[in-house]
Structure 1
């Protein structure tokens, strides 16, 4: 008996590795080695691997989505007396019968799902690190740079976009504070300014200040008019920048408008 298990997959083979490791734990001191052959796409390559398994009298475990390749493995192993297990086949057959439809037999679909998941996680971490102007380090990695007046939904919009896989930096816009030179060193079409109608913005800021005793001009309508005009002046000066009015819009609507402005209407969330 060989101390090796050949794992053959048209994907990464990780599913088979996990399953075989879990199964091996049920045996005391199995001392088995897993030899993984991933991304096996053609019959010649598959038969070559099986020939090596035959030489070593190894067990074969496969996760192949294509029925023809699963049949090749089964037939070869049965003809040559090799132990084998088809990990994915029985599940596909059972689902096919239950759903009354044939599987797509597309290798690597799970990998694509995993890649999309990890992209979202990476985008969330990036966006959290760069929230509210904390840092502009790594700005060249950003998919979007959102500038905006206070209370124009910069942070919630940024995190919604991050959940869709976009790396976002958001920076507060304050007329008295110069805009960092780093923002002018990236693709200027990625820069988006969020603004809001002054009267609506005043109501939102006033609601925020209800629990604070302050004489700040934060919710002064005249001050807000100046801030809004400052935003319009920036867009007039920097023609490639985009402006999105968030007045009475949901986060989803704002995010969709940002994506359409920067990446075009063919890009959907």
Structure 2
């Protein structure tokens, strides 16, 4: 039987949708349909939506920063036996206690086009132009310089970091190709080398080669061991560079480790 999940928000509703989708991954073939109501800014509009949820016997998940709206949803749902989940209310309440001040209850704050937004745009453009060693000038402007063997997730990790506002240069490491001299002239703390377990790297490269008809030694284990040793030798010679093992890690995990290595664990995004 198809069940309906109502998403209510005074913003876009994307945060609530993402959380509910993540939770639903824990259920095999959940028969649900989302109904999303964004920019809910009037009480009468809110009550009309809740009435629809009551008729459909739906589940209500909501993100609203206005306490009156949250209280209205709680009261209505309790009165009519509607399962509901307040995503923003509890953390806002706890933070009010922790910070010793009242929340501003300003809907849409996350949508503000501010300097952080423009910083991210600049970072993405910079990272795009410096992807895979396309350009090696302007390395002083980079926040992070990623060096890595082929298929160690250089590009996706770099773009994930760019979306967090970091300007990233990523350069492929190939033993037969000299590393650009510019890399050795920048702050060594910016430089991060990506590494991967040789057997895992071989599997990744083998999967990649299935799309091509070639006799390349790209996935030859002996060659991969030589490449990995090449990276460790680079680290031994450049001891202020960082090394991050990407074996079986998500892009998010790798990016977080890079940020911790370069900026420390207290880095504020």
Confirm or deny a common fold (TM above 0.5).
Answer: yes
Q: Deviations over 1:32-89 (max 9, x none)?
A: xxxxxxxxxxxxxxxxxxxxxxxxxxxxxxxxxxxxxxxxxxxxxxxxxxxxxxxxxx
Root mean square deviation, CA, Å: 2.5
Corresponding position of 2:138: 138
* Correspondence 1:165 to 2:165: yes
Q: Distance in 1 between matches of 2:104 and 2:207?
A: 54
Corresponding position of 2:226: 226
Q: Deviations over 1:128-175 (max 9, x none)?
A: 000000001211110000000000000000000000000000000000
Q: Retained in 1: the 8 A contact 2:191–2:241?
A: yes
Corresponding position of 2:257: 257
Corresponding position of 1:124: 124
CA-CA distance at 1:112 after TM superposition:
7.8
Give SS of 2:114's match. helix
* Correspondence 1:212 to 2:212: yes
**Inter-CA distance 212–110: structure 2 relative to 1 (3 Å threshold):** closer
Corresponding position of 2:148: 148
Give SS of 1:254's match. helix
Q: Distance in 2 between matches of 1:254 and 1:156?
A: 10
The equivalences for 1:59-208 within 5 A come to: 104=104, 114-208=114-208
The runs of 5 or more residues in structure 1 that have no matched partner are 1-94
**Inter-CA distance 112–256: structure 2 relative to 1 (3 Å threshold):** same
CA-CA distance at 1:258 after TM superposition:
0.4
Corresponding position of 1:78: none
Q: Retained in 2: the 8 A contact 1:195–1:245?
A: yes
The runs of 5 or more residues in structure 2 that have no matched partner are 1-65, 72-92, 94-101
Corresponding position of 2:61: none
Q: Retained in 2: the 8 A contact 1:96–1:103?
A: no
How many pairs were matched up? 174
Corresponding position of 1:29: none
**Inter-CA distance 211–96: structure 2 relative to 1 (3 Å threshold):** closer
Give SS of 2:169's match. strand
Corresponding position of 1:60: none
Give SS of 1:118's match. helix
Q: Distance in 1 between matches of 2:110 and 2:69?
A: 21
Q: Retained in 2: the 8 A contact 1:130–1:168?
A: yes
Q: Distance in 2 between matches of 1:229 and 1:103?
A: 54
Q: Retained in 1: the 8 A contact 2:120–2:165?
A: yes
Q: Retained in 1: the 8 A contact 2:67–2:105?
A: no
Q: Distance in 1 between matches of 2:112 and 2:244?
A: 32
**Inter-CA distance 111–197: structure 2 relative to 1 (3 Å threshold):** closer
* Correspondence 1:244 to 2:265: no
Query: Could you tell me the TM-score, scaled by structure 2's length?
Result: 0.60
**Inter-CA distance 149–121: structure 2 relative to 1 (3 Å threshold):** same
Give SS of 1:127's match. helix
Give SS of 2:194's match. strand
Q: Distance in 1 between matches of 2:142 and 2:135?
A: 12
